[in-house]
Amino acid sequence: MTDAQQFASDNYAGICPEAWAAMEAANRGSAPAYGDDEWTTQASDAFRALFETPCEVFFAFNGTAANSLALASLCQSYHSVICASSAHVETDECGAPEFFSNGSKLLIVPTPDGKLTPDAVRALAVSRTDIHFPKPRVVTITQPTETGQVYTVEEVRALSAMCRELGLKLHMDGARFAHACAALGCAPADITWKAGVDVLCFGGTKNGMAVGEAVLFFDPALAQDFDYRCKQAGQLASKMRFLSAPWVGLLGSGAWLANARHANDCAARLAAAVAGLPEIELMFPVEANGVFLRAPEPVLEALRAKGWRFYTFIGGGARFMFAWDADPVRVDALADDIRAACAG
Ligand SMILES: *Cc1c(COP(=O)(O)O)cnc(C)c1O
C-alpha cells in the first residue's frame, strides 16, 4: 500500500523497471563476491563506453561516501577544498569530507545559485598563500547545483582552466548528473573529462536505483588505493553485484537519460503551470528536476492542509523535486492546488 505521490524529494521514488530487472537477473544463482563478478565488470565497462574513455570506476552505497572519499583521495590533511556555500558537501554531509580526509578544510564561496565562477575560485585560492592557511587543492562543483542550476560546457571548461592555472583538481558532485546531461543535451564526456573534470561522483539513487553511486576517476593515477579507502570506510559491498547490476540496466537501456529527461520535463511542467500566478515566485530558474517556489505562508499552509509535502530549508521557499516516476497527473494536481491556494 503506497500513499499518493509526493514531490518533496526525488528520493521518495522507488526503483525503475530497468534497474529492477537487472537486479532480478543478478539474483539468479550465485556470483563471486567483493566485485569480482560479471555484473561489476559489465557495469564498469558500460561507464567506460558511455564516457568514451578508460576511466577507473568504483561503486559506493551513497553520495556522502562517494563525495567524501573522492575528495579525501585528492587531498592531504593540510589541504583545502573550495566549494559553494550551498554545496551538499558543506551543508548535508555532517562533516564527512573533513572526517575522511583527516581534516582537509572546506573553503566556502557564498553564491546565490550554488554555482562557482573562475573569478570566485581564484579570489579564494590566492587570498592566502602563507603557511598558516590550509593549502587549496581541490575545487568541487555540483552539477546540477542543489537548487537546480546547470553548468554549461563552457562554464565547466572555464573553471577547469582556472583550476589548472592554480594547480587545483576539479571534482564534480553529480548526484543528479544524468539530469544535467538531459538538460544540456550533451554527451557525458563533454561536461566531464573533456572539460577538465578529474573525478566524477555519478548518482544512481536519484536516477532510479535503490541505492548506489559510481565514482569515476578520469586520471587513473588519482585512483590509487581508492579501493582500500572504500573498504576502510565500510563502502565495499560484499554482494557487489547488487550495487553494480542496476547500472548495467540503467546504462544499457538508456534509462539513465530517459529517467532524467522525464524528471526535468515534470519540473518544467509545474513551473509553466504556476508561472504568472501573482503570489508565486520562482526562486531559481528551472533547469533540471527541481522547482523552488516562494509563496506567502498562508499559501504554503493551504498546500500542507491539502496533504502536499515539501521542504522549505532553502530560503523558506517550497521545494518540489521530480523523479523518474513522477506522474504528470499528480504534477497537474499540485499545480491546481497551488492555483487554488493563491485564489483562496
Ligand atoms: C542527494 C545528494 C547527494 C547524496 O546524498 P546521500 O544521501 O549521501 O546519498 C550528494 N550531493 C547532492 C547535491 C545531493 O543532492
Q: Which tens digit of pLDDT belongs to each residue from 157-194?
A: 999 999 999 999 999 999 999 999 999 999 999 999 99
Give domain status of residue 266, yes or no. Answer: yes
Query: How far does residue 341's CA lie from ligand 1's centre (Å)?
Result: 31
Q: For 13, which DSSP code?
A: S
Beta bridge partners of 110: none
175 lines ligand 1 (CB under 6 A): yes
Query: How far does residue 69's CA lie from ligand 1's centre (Å)?
Result: 14
169 lines ligand 1 (CB under 6 A): no
User: Of the residues 64, 91, 113, 206, which should be mutated to test ligand 1's pocket, given the most ligand atoms within 8 Å of the CB?
Assistant: 64
Query: How far does residue 276's CA lie from ligand 1's centre (Å)?
Result: 32
Query: How far does residue 11's CA lie from ligand 1's centre (Å)?
Result: 10
142 lines ligand 1 (CB under 6 A): yes
Alpha carbon distance 293, 153 (integer Å): 27
Query: How far does residue 94's CA lie from ligand 1's centre (Å)?
Result: 12
Nearest to 277 by CA among 292, 295, 255: 295
**Which of the listed residues 227, 254, 281 is the one where a domain comes to its end?**
254
Give domain status of residue 211, yes or no. Answer: yes
* Predicted local distance difference test score (pLDDT) of residue 112: 86
What cell does 155 get?
562554464
Tell me: do 280 and 302 sit in the same domain. Answer: yes
Query: How far does residue 269's CA lie from ligand 1's centre (Å)?
Result: 24
189-229 pLDDT tens trace: 999 999 999 999 999 999 999 999 999 999 999 999 999 99
Nearest to 289 by CA among 11, 1, 4, 53: 11
* Predicted local distance difference test score (pLDDT) of residue 1: 53
Residues in the chain predicted with pLDDT less than 70, given as ranges, are 1-2
Tell me: do 186 and 275 sit in the same domain. Answer: no
DSSP assignment string, 263-329: HHHHHHHHHHHHTT-TT-EESS---SSEEEEE--HHHHHHHHHTT---B-TTTTPEEEE--TT--HH
Tell me: do 232 and 318 sit in the same domain. Answer: no
What cell does 86 get?
550551498
Whether the pTM exceeds 0.85: the reply is: yes
62 lines ligand 1 (CB under 6 A): yes
Q: For 54-97, give the secondary structure using H, E and C.
A: CCEEEEECCHHHHHHHHHHHHCCCCEEEEEECCCHHHHCCCCHH
**Ligand 1 atom nearest to 61, measured from its CA:** 9
63 lines ligand 1 (CB under 6 A): yes
Tell me: do 321 and 206 sit in the same domain. Answer: no
* Predicted local distance difference test score (pLDDT) of residue 2: 64
| Helix (H) or strand (E) run with residue 136 in it | strand 135-142
Tell me: do 151 and 118 sit in the same domain. Answer: yes
Containing structural domain, residue 109: 17-254
207 lines ligand 1 (CB under 6 A): no
Query: How far does residue 99's CA lie from ligand 1's centre (Å)?
Result: 17
**Which of the listed residues 205, 232, 254 is the one where a domain comes to its end?**
254
Alpha carbon distance 271, 289 (integer Å): 11
Tell me: do 64 and 184 sit in the same domain. Answer: yes
Tell me: do 294 and 245 sit in the same domain. Answer: no
Beta bridge partners of 171: 140, 199
CB atoms within 10 A of CB 32: 11
Tell me: do 190 and 314 sit in the same domain. Answer: no
The number of folded domains in the chain is 2
Tell me: do 208 and 148 sit in the same domain. Answer: yes
CA angle 110, 297, 284 (to 5 degrees): 35
146 lines ligand 1 (CB under 6 A): yes
Tell me: do 86 and 169 sit in the same domain. Answer: yes
205 lines ligand 1 (CB under 6 A): yes
* Predicted local distance difference test score (pLDDT) of residue 19: 98
